[in-house]
Amino acid sequence: GKSNYSFGLRKLSVAPFVASTPRNAPDPKNNLAVTGAGATPIEKAARYGRVHAWNDGRTNQSESSYDCEADKPADFWGIEWTRAYHLDRVVYVSGETFADGGWFDDLRVQVRQHFHWVDVNRPRTNPTYPHDRSAGPRKRYVLDFEPTWGDGVRIIGKPGGSATYTTIAELEAYYARQV
């Protein structure tokens, strides 16, 4: 008599932590979400289980965080690596949006440093993210920020719409410019 709609299993991979120092040089064409050591997509929830959909270089399909959880305080999509990298840009390509959700009500970027997620300094978004249904589909948002480092990067924020979920088609990460 109980619904098990929210029940799901995921493959778990565990690797011992190895401390590293970021050594990557600026390269505006090197998408670390694809080329970074051990690049692994991370998410709050992936409705369709396509966990590599946002770092496969294609934007013709999207993933959704729709999971029937009412009024989620935060949603995120990101990439983790087995070593640290310099970073200063994330490109978010939005997924499909619907009347009940698919966008962020607020959007920020975080990097993982010493096992903690921290907001980046002075983020700038081009074009300006609209925080409503017009955010998608497949629109490209470049989020530049002060150079930093991390062994992970993610976009995070309160999911929008009455069903409180977000969608994504692609996430890219770069160390794009000279310091």
pLDDT, tens digit, 9 for 90 and up, residues 119-133? 999 999 999 999 999
Q: What is the mean pLDDT of residues 18-28?
A: 95
Q: What is the mean pLDDT of residues 77-101?
A: 96
Would you call 61 exposed, middle or buried from its count of C-beta atoms within 10 A (0-12, 13-18, 19+)? middle
Q: What is the mean pLDDT of residues 154-169?
A: 95
pLDDT, position 43: 84
What's the whole-model pTM score?
Answer: 0.90
Q: Is the pLDDT of residue 46 over 80?
A: no
Q: What is the mean pLDDT of residues 110-124?
A: 97
